[in-house]
């Protein structure tokens, strides 16, 4: 073999070798700590299982407090009634709220109920037991003087069929960050009806099974009514839609964003002052605009006046731009702006 030919073969071998990367070395597995026998000594069967409907976002109310408002679902996994006696909410090891007695009764219902006995005039009513295989709801509104913690846990004390009380740790719920928004309306004074965080309103306790999920879509919703200097929402005959001060007032974008839904064409209700017949779910919000203001953040403006929607789907808007005018379309009992934030566009 000539030196020249050998050099060519060597070059090919070197080139091929240079093109092959060394196989990555897999890191050594780090097994978790496992208790002897494979089961932690604290593991036990519990009568209740807890779940959170959605990740709560803190809101600063007009009372200056930071509200973390959400729902704790408690499923009775036993064949006997379970009575919840106490619900503690903890930030780390610190109890930040504790519900017992009449307050717990007022903020607890069964899944299919919307109000508790104390809200109907009986402050001493006992907590309704969760029936066998039933689901209870604890409507929580946890207050903080400053910023809310990143997560909260729950400790539920309950008794089964009149037996001794047991404690159940229902796990941790994360707390998300709420956006800072501009006003949805101009001028005023505007009355914020059924807003955060009064219990037992059709917004706060509007729990519903939708598309196979339990949701409270109107948890932080506000119905805005314009008032005059005598604090009246209408003048003269309330059956006339134009006698409401809010009627035909412009609603504006609370932030820069893009319109993901703009729907018009529904007539205003004609049943005033009586509520209208309940419409199909797709017509509930009537003429409306949904504005995406951030990933996973959508602002819904509902019940606009027919023919007043001023934007189109896909349109970019700036904070303060007019989106439509207040009316009473959809499931509306009077002209007002229904405004809420969603984590989904629909």
**CA atoms of 258 and 233, how far apart (whole Å):** 32
| Number of domains the chain is built from | 2
Dump pLDDT digits (tens) for 11-50: 333 344 444 556 666 778 888 888 877 788 877 788 899 9
Residues 162 and 242 in one domain: no
Same domain, 127 and 271: no
Say if 12 falls within a structural domain. no
Pair (156, 209) in one structural domain: no
Domain that holds residue 212: 190-342
Whether 129 contacts 158, CB under 8 Å: no
**Tokens linked to 178:** 């709420």
> CA-CA distance, 235 to 257, in Å (whole number)?
36
DSSP assignment of 129-142 = PBPTT-EEEEEEEE
Q: How many CA atoms lie within 13 A of 222 on its CB side?
A: 15
Q: Does 228 map to a domain?
A: yes
pLDDT at 153: 94
* Domain assignment present for 251: yes
Residue-wise pLDDT tens digits, 181-210: 999 999 999 999 998 776 678 898 888 888
Q: Are residues 313 and 256 in the same domain?
A: yes
**pLDDT, mean of residues 322-328:** 98
Q: Are 263 and 135 part of one and the same domain?
A: no
Q: Which of 282, 327, 284 is nearest to 304 (CA)?
A: 327
326 and 195 in a common domain: yes
Q: What is the pLDDT of residue 144?
A: 95
CATH no. for residue 222?
2.70.70
- Same domain? For 82 and 162 the reply is yes
Domain membership of residue 40 (yes or no) is no
Q: Are residues 278 and 168 in the same domain?
A: no
Angle at 20 between CA 18 and CA 21, to 5 degrees: 105
Indicate whether 8 belongs to any domain.
no
Q: How far apart are CA 102 and CA 87, in angstroms?
A: 12
User: Do residues 70 and 111 both lie within one domain?
Assistant: yes
Decide which of 120, 146, 174 is a domain's last residue: 174
Q: Are residues 209 and 321 in the same domain?
A: yes
Rounded CA-CA distance 230/99 in Å is 39
Residues 74 and 100 in one domain: yes
37 in any annotated domain: no
174, 201, 226 - which closes a domain: 174
Q: Is residue 24 part of a domain?
A: no
- The CATH number that applies at residue 108 is 2.60.40
Percent of the chain with pLDDT over 90: 58
Q: Determine the average pLDDT of the residues in 285-308.
A: 96
Query: pLDDT tens for residues 77-91?
Result: 999 999 999 999 999
User: Which of the two residues, 223 and 57, has the higher pLDDT score?
Assistant: 223
- Between CA 103 and CA 99 the distance in angstroms is 6
Domain endpoint, select from 139, 174, 209: 174
Answer yes or no: do 125 and 253 share one domain: no
Q: Which residue has the tokens 């949904």?
A: 290
| Span 218-233, average pLDDT | 95
* Total residue count of the chain as it appears in this document: 346
In a domain, 17, yes or no: no
């Amino acid at each position: 073999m000539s030196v020249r030919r050998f050099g060519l073969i060597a070059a090919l071998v070197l080139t091929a070798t240079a093109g092959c990367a060394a196989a990555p070395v897999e890191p050594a597995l780090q097994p978790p700590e496992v208790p002897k026998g494979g089961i932690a000594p604290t593991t036990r069967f519990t009568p209740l299982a807890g779940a959170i409907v959605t990740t709560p976002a803190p809101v600063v109310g007009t009372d200056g407090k930071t509200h973390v408002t959400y729902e704790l679902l408690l499923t009775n996994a036993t064949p006997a009634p379970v009575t919840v006696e106490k619900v503690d909410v903890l930030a780390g090891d610190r109890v930040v709220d504790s519900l017992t007695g009449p307050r717990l009764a007022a903020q607890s219902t069964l899944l299919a109920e919307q109000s508790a006995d104390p809200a109907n005039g009986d402050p001493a009513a006992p907590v309704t037991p969760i029936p066998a295989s039933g689901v209870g709801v604890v409507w929580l509104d946890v207050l903080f003087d400053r910023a809310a913690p990143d997560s909260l846990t729950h400790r539920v004390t309950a008794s089964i069929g009149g037996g001794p009380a047991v404690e159940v740790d229902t796990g941790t719920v994360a707390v998300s960050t709420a956006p800072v928004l501009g006003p949805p309306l101009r001028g005023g004074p505007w009355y914020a009806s059924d807003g955060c965080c009064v219990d037992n309103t059709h917004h706060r306790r509007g729990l519903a099974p939708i598309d196979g999920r339990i949701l409270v879509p109107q948890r932080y919703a506000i119905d805005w009514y314009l008032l005059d200097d005598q604090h009246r929402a209408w003048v003269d005959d309330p059956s006339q839609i134009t006698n409401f001060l809010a009627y035909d007032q412009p609603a504006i974008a609370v932030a820069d964003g893009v319109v993901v839904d703009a729907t018009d064409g529904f007539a205003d209700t004609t049943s005033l002052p009586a509520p209208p017949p309940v419409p199909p779910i797709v017509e509930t919000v009537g003429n409306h605009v949904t504005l995406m203001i951030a990933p996973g953040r959508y602002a819904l403006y509902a019940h606009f006046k027919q023919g007043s929607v001023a934007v189109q789907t896909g349109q970019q808007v700036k904070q303060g731009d007019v989106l439509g005018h207040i009316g009473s379309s959809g499931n509306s009992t009077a002209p007002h702006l229904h405004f809420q934030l969603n984590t989904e566009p629909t």
